[in-house]
Each structure stands twice: as structure tokens, then as C-alpha cells.
Amino acid sequence: FLAVLVYFTIPFLPRLPFIPGQMVESYGVLGTVEAITSFHTTIRKFDGNLVFLPNAMVLASKIHNFSYTPNRRIEFNLSVAIDSDLDLVKERLLAVVTANHRVLSDPAPAVFAMHADASGIQLALYCWVVNADFLGTRSELWQEILSVSREGRGLTLAVPRQEVSLRDFR
């Protein structure tokens, strides 16, 4: 009787949308699924720590499963100096990302001006990579962008600053 009951109830039991070995983010925890039991899911974070999440919490939270997507977008939010030549900045940023062999050409990398204020011009840089290359490529590109900025090759990152005016109220 128990076997028949289990057989007919299995389709109605909630299933987690991932399996061990997949990279997921659930309940604010990002890492690789190590194990799934009937009570909890074990996720190994990228710093090596193991996190045990009760399955009820996992099912109640938003779950990002990065393993089902073949390609993934890398997004950089940069603030460049307000007096920057935007055409030159875009050219330099695109040169950095297209020079990396892991960045995909389709869809093509793109740079957009998103906002400007007294502290600088906010840019968004987008490029796509194979999912497995995401973290390594993102790190390499950040290092290269910072290198280009330090060398003064047409890319000056904004430095937050605040002006204070003192007035004599006598």
C-alpha cells in the first residue's frame, strides 16, 4: 500500500529546479550545489564555505540557476570623468573587451551612457561569454579596464568628490 501511495504522490511533491554540480543562487547564497537531501540543500560558496539551506526556504525564495544558460552577459557599471571624450572612452572599453578571446562576438559588446551628474558620467558596458567562463573573464576584464585607466590611455575613471562652501553669516 505504501509503495502505491508514494508512486501516486511523487508527481505532486515539489522538486527543486537544480541538481548537484550546478551553479545557483538561492536565498542570497551563490555557489555550487553539493548535495540535496529531503530536508536541506547544501551549497558550496566560492569562498569554500558550505551553506545548508532548508528546502522549504529554498522553495520559498527566488532561485537563479545559471547552469541552464549556455551564454551569460557580463555587465560593468563605470563612472568616468565628466570631461571625458565619450567616443574615445567607448572605443577604449570596446577594445578591451573585444581583445579578450573568451568574449563572444555575437551579440556584440556594447557601451551605453546611462547617466551624468557632477561626479561623472555613468556608463554600462555589456559583453557575452560562455557561462563557464563568466567569473574568470569578468575578473580579467576588470583588471584590464583598471590597467587602461591607470595608464591614461583615454579612459579616466571618475573620482567621487564633494565641494563644501563656507559662508560668513554675520
pTM of the complete model: 0.69
All three cell numbers of 106, joined, read: 555575437
**So what's the pLDDT on residue 120?**
87
Report the pLDDT value the prediction gives residue 12, as an integer from 0 to 100: 53
pLDDT for the residue numbered 2: 64
pLDDT at 9: 59
Q: Where are the beta strands (DSSP E) in 22-70?
A: 23-26, 29-36, 40-45, 50-54, 63-65
Side chain identity, residue 91 = E
pLDDT at residue 135, rounded to an integer: 87
Q: What is the pLDDT of residues 59-108, one digit of tens each?
A: 888 988 888 888 999 999 999 988 888 999 999 999 999 999 999 999 99
pLDDT of residue 162: 67
Q: What integer pLDDT is reported at residue 119 of this predicted model?
A: 81
Backbone angles phi, psi at 127, to 5 degrees: -150, 160
Task: Show pLDDT as tens, one digit a residue, over the chain (170 residues).
Answer: 666 665 665 555 567 888 899 999 998 999 999 999 888 999 999 999 999 999 889 888 898 888 888 899 999 999 998 888 899 999 999 999 999 999 999 999 999 999 988 888 999 999 999 988 988 999 999 999 999 888 877 777 787 666 777 887 77
* Closest residue by Cα to residue 65 from 99, 8, 19, 107: 19
pLDDT at position 136 is 93
Q: Residues near 136 by Cβ (< 8 Å), separated by ≥ 6?
A: 102
What share of the chain has pLDDT > 90, as a percent?
51
